[in-house]
Chain A
Amino acid sequence: QTVVTQEPSFSVSPGGTVTLTCGLTSGSVSNTYNPSWYQQTPGQAPRTLIYNTNTRSSGVPDRFSGSILENKAALTITGAQADDESDYYCVLYMGGGIWVFGGGTKLTVL
């Protein structure tokens, strides 16, 4: 069974830079998995941040960027702000209409 891995938690100082990753227990993540990233605060619906590996969704600040780093999809936040404190989820497309979300990363800004 394919498992998508994310760091359970991460912390960053205000103004700092953090990179969250999205990997596979078996194999490497590439653009063919169409990685995308979502931000969710408690009690709210997810918000789309990044799709197609590195394309920002409409209205998303440019301090959010996506890439492939060392066989994983990556979400980098540059100049973190207090309201970036959220849960972040990646999802990979496995083909055949099947999607698998990662377990999410809880980001703390302190």
Chain B
Amino acid sequence: EVQLLESGGGLVQPGGSLRLSCAASGFTFSHSVMRWVRQAPGKGLEWVSGITADGGVTRYADSVKGHFTISRDNSKSTLYLQMNSLTAEDTAVYYCAKGGDASYVYYFAHWGQGTLVTVSS
């Protein structure tokens, strides 16, 4: 069974930093595209970032480019999101999501339960 467990959320002051983690199990992590999606309170889903299976290629939404960094440690089956220069607009539940399998990767196949990030003074 695929499991994705996010951690690292919490309350942070504007301008601060936070690193989210997503521990994966139940599948071959090193073969899977991984992504982060967030959801501000009462709002819809927003794709944040994605990373290829080997970590060699990363992509970001314009709203976080230059402030967030996605990375992964395949030896630990863990995905990360380093978030810097946080603002109130970054307040959201952050979900990690697994891409599809090798035959078709173009969707969000599995989701974690999410971790809440609150940016406030």
Contacts and interface: CB of A to CB of B under 8 A. Distances in A.
Given A45-B114, A48-B111, A97-B59, A103 B106 contact: no
Contacts of B107: 34, 36, 48, 51-52, 91
Contacts of B106: 34, 36, 51-52, 93
Nearest to B100: A51
Contacts of B35: 99
B27 interface: no
Interface residues of B, number: 22
A62 B47 CA distance: 27
Contacts of A51: 100, 104, 106-107, 109
A89 interface: yes
Contacts, number: 62
Contacts of A101: 37, 44-47
A45 B112 contact: yes
B111 A45 contact: yes
Nearest to A50: B107
Contacts of A97: 50, 57, 59
Nearest to B4: A45
A40 B37 CA distance: 14
Interface residues of A, number: 25
Contacts of A34: 106-107
Given A46-B95, A47-B111, 9 more contacts: A45-B111, A48-B107, A51-B107, A52-B107, A57-B109, A93-B106, A98-B47, A101-B47, A102-B44
Interface of B: 35, 37, 44-47, 50, 57, 59, 61, 95, 100, 104, 106-114
